[in-house]
Amino acid sequence: MIAENMKPLVKNNSVIRQMFEEGDRLRAIYGADKVFDFSLGNPNVPAPAEVKEAFLDILENEDPIKVHGYMSNAGFPEVRHAIAESLNKRFKTDFGMHNILMTVGAGSALNVAFRILLNPGDEVLTFAPYFVEYGNYVSNYGGKLSVVPANTENFQPDLEAFKKMVSPKTKMVVINTPHNPTGVIYTEETIRKLTDILYDKQMEFGTEIFLLSDEPYRELVYDDVEVPYVTRYYANTLVAYSFSKTLSLPGERIGYLLIPDEAVDSSEMIAAAGIAIRVSGSVNAPSLIQLVVGRCLDLKADISYYKRNRDTLYGALKEYGFSCTEPQGAFYLWVKTPTEDDKAFVAAAKSHNILVVPGSSFACPGYVRLAYCVSYETIKGSLPGFKELAREYFGE
Ligand code: PLP
């Protein structure tokens, strides 16, 4: 009975569900502390204490009719104003509240961006490896996702291949930095070269090409590496942001879409985005959490926790002989599998009660992703299993 275009999604979902069920099955047999589950990007550092204080204070002291009521589809004006001011201070931008539309996480911000820009058949380009939901989101609006093959040297985008793939049908390009699943941050040089290509291609084809920067990990950065603010390099840039990871609030579903004045037809896009939020059925982003994040804009979860996990896991795996990309941001470690068949490696890891996600799930076989937003005990407990795996593949 279900629609034809849902069938592949249902089929694929059962693969993901199987992975979760496998974790539960192993935990039931061996005990939760003997299973080392690196499969999910669910933050395990608690939200900063100020988040709870803001919840309580708003509930105690603000007008409940306002706190729980409908509002403009784009969100509370004062929250959007505070976000614009915070961005302006940090990135020397010049946004106003009208440029910010509150959404149900980055997932919704991405959907709104695709909804307002894509006509059926329009092409969206992204770079392997990539967050697999992009394909589903693009197909929600009849678009076609094309994927630039990975640059396995350093996982910065392969701009030569990209240049050849941009076509008159290319309406949007999606980038994600800091990056899931590699932890790489795109350098300023990368952003400059990529946006130069886009300016050249717009000129060559007489089209407008929109760059959509997906940034749920913007604040999760190690060693003070800089994450360039992309609107400063390219006028037709939209930003999808989320508080899910920065403030450890993924279940609260709060983020925003930023549409700068410099983007072509920005007023029309902003008006359309408000309507897209409405007709998506979400109507507006959840009200209480909007007010909370509006008070917590300069905070982030304790990154030193993820850093310790990163340093221990990356250090140990390198020592055992695995080839890994050193994460500069986010909370993922991207490991080259010692066999071409990443799924075989995932199965081998499972035999040591280690759960990881195959690179083929990110359109990049031959690698696995480890989400190290787990307890330090999980990191430490997994190391003998990784050592054993190394022995199996590399010998003594
Ligand atoms: N984009 C990327 C690259 C992600 O990794 C995620 C979540 O893991 C999202 C978007 C969606 O984030 P949200 O929870 O804000 O919808």
Provide the CATH number for the domain around residue 88: 3.40.640.10
- Is residue 244 within 6 Å of ligand 1 at its C-beta? yes
Provide the CATH number for the domain around residue 29: 3.90.1150.10
* Mean pLDDT by groups of 10 residues along the chain of 396 residues: 91 76 91 94 96 98 97 98 98 98 98 98 98 96 98 98 98 98 98 98 98 98 96 98 98 98 98 98 98 97 97 98 97 97 96 96 96 97 98 90
- Is residue 181 within 6 Å of ligand 1 at its C-beta? no
Q: What is the pLDDT of residue 22?
A: 86
The model's pLDDT over 220-266, given as tens digits with 9 standing for 90+, comes to: 999 999 999 999 999 999 999 999 999 999 999 999 999 999 999 99
| Whether residue 377 sits in one domain with residue 251 | no
pTM: 0.97
**Domain C-terminal end among 295, 316, 343:** 295
| Whether residue 342 sits in one domain with residue 258 | no
Q: What is the pLDDT of residue 17?
A: 72
**Closest-lying ligand 1 atom to the alpha carbon of residue 41:** 8
- Is residue 183 within 6 Å of ligand 1 at its C-beta? no
| Closest C-alpha among 349, 350, 357 to residue 332 | 357
Q: In the chain, which ranges are E strands?
A: 36-37, 100-103, 123-127, 144-148, 170-176, 210-214, 237-242, 255-258, 324-325, 332-336, 354-355, 357-358, 367-371
The model's pLDDT over 66-90, given as tens digits with 9 standing for 90+, comes to: 999 999 999 999 999 999 999 999 9
- Is residue 361 within 6 Å of ligand 1 at its C-beta? no
Q: How many domains does the chain have?
A: 2
| Whether residue 262 sits in one domain with residue 370 | no
The answer to whether 204 and 228 are in contact (CB under 8 A) is no
| Whether residue 229 sits in one domain with residue 121 | yes
| Whether residue 174 sits in one domain with residue 79 | yes
| Closest C-alpha among 186, 218, 176 to residue 87 | 218
Atom 6 of ligand 1, residue of closest alpha carbon = 216
Q: State which residues form the domain around 259.
A: 49-295
**Domain C-terminal end among 295, 330, 363:** 295
